[in-house]
Amino acid sequence: MKIVVIGGTGLIGSKLVTKLGEHGHEAVAAAPNTGVNTLTGEGLAEVLKGASVVIDVSNSPSFEDTAVMEFFETSTRNVLAAEAAAGVGHHVALSVVGTERMPDNGYFAAKIAQETMIENSSIPFSLVHATQFFEFVRSIADEATDGDKVRIAPVLFQPMAGDDVAQAVGRVAVGTPLNGRTEVGGPERFRMDDFFRKALAAWGDPREVVADPQAHYFGSVPGERTLVPGEGATLGQIRYRDWLDRAATGK
């Protein structure tokens, strides 16, 4: 089966291309550096010829509110139109757990707009909502840094490994379209401030983690359960400590 991965050279996309290829699928990476530009439509018609499934794991190069909204609306519109012309039978999009619970967040609002366009299209679809990735934990800490302190909201947090995200998305992609959403998260649930306190200690980072109920998470204050999946979510297998050890050894 030919499966086109939009954003296929990025963190999750490259893992998807590899995993799908290992299972015998023709997995094709579609990204600007492979000649496919979803903002202009360049290369879309060509890459989608013969494709059964399209997986969109692309991301905006800018997280500024207007720019990120323009990226997801324009890109999704172009991809869906090209899929309809090519007869693609399943559109899979990776989104974020909690989008609907933090609509004042510019990035989450853009993802909601993307999902609405997908839901209103004629193409059978599946939406995979994932929690935060282990690979982005350091950037979350940096974003929350104020001087020598890292201000973190004491809410629930359930991050997961990129490999587990890719596995979950790939499994959905080769299945029957959900015409709805599914949630995936990490195998362990933490208090967010406690997780970062232990993570910084493991990195040997001297910054102090401060539990701050008003701390922002990329521009918005999360609620107690904003960032964690609900009951029935698919859970990954890789624990953060094991992932960290693996990353340190390069394995």
Encode pLDDT of 66-88 as tens digits. Answer: 999 999 999 999 999 999 999 99
DSSP assignments along 147-195, one per residue = TTEEEE--SEE--B-HHHHHHHHHHHHTS---SEEEEEE-S--EEHHHH
Q: What percent of the chain has pLDDT over 90?
A: 92
pLDDT digits (tens, 9 = 90+) for 43-67: 999 999 999 999 999 999 988 999 9
Percent of the chain at pLDDT exceeding 70 = 99
Q: Is the pLDDT confidence value at 231 over 70?
A: yes
pLDDT of residue 249: 72
CA angle 98-71-94, nearest 5°?
A: 40
Residue in this structure with the two tokens 């094991």, named with its chain if needed: 242
| Lowest-pLDDT range of 46-55, 80-89, 194-203, 213-222 | 213-222
Structure tokens at 204: 């040997």
Which residue is associated with the tokens 């959905």? Answer: 172
Convert the pLDDT of each residue in 102-143 to its tens digit.
Answer: 888 899 999 999 999 999 999 999 999 999 999 999 999 999
Kindly give, in sequence order, each residue whose CB lies less than 8 Å from that of residue 242, ignoring residues fewer than 6 positions away: none
Q: What is the pLDDT of residue 63?
A: 87
Please name the residue that has the structure tokens 């989608």: 48
Mean pLDDT of 223-228: 95
Phi, psi (degrees; rounded to nearest 5) at 188? -125, 145
190-211 average pLDDT score:
96
| Count of beta carbons in the 10 Å neighbourhood of residue 11 | 16
pLDDT of 102: 86
The predicted pLDDT at position 250 comes to 63
Average confidence (pLDDT) over 141-158? 96
Give 246's pLDDT tier (boundaries 50, 70, 90): confident
Residue 123, pLDDT score:
98
**Would you say residue 251 has pLDDT above 60?**
no
Whole-number pLDDT of residue 31: 97
How large is the average pLDDT for residues 14-27? Answer: 97
**Mean pLDDT confidence for 157-164:** 98
In the prediction, which pLDDT does 150 show? Answer: 97
Q: What is the CATH superfamily name and number for domain 2-249?
A: NAD(P)-binding Rossmann-like Domain (3.40.50.720)
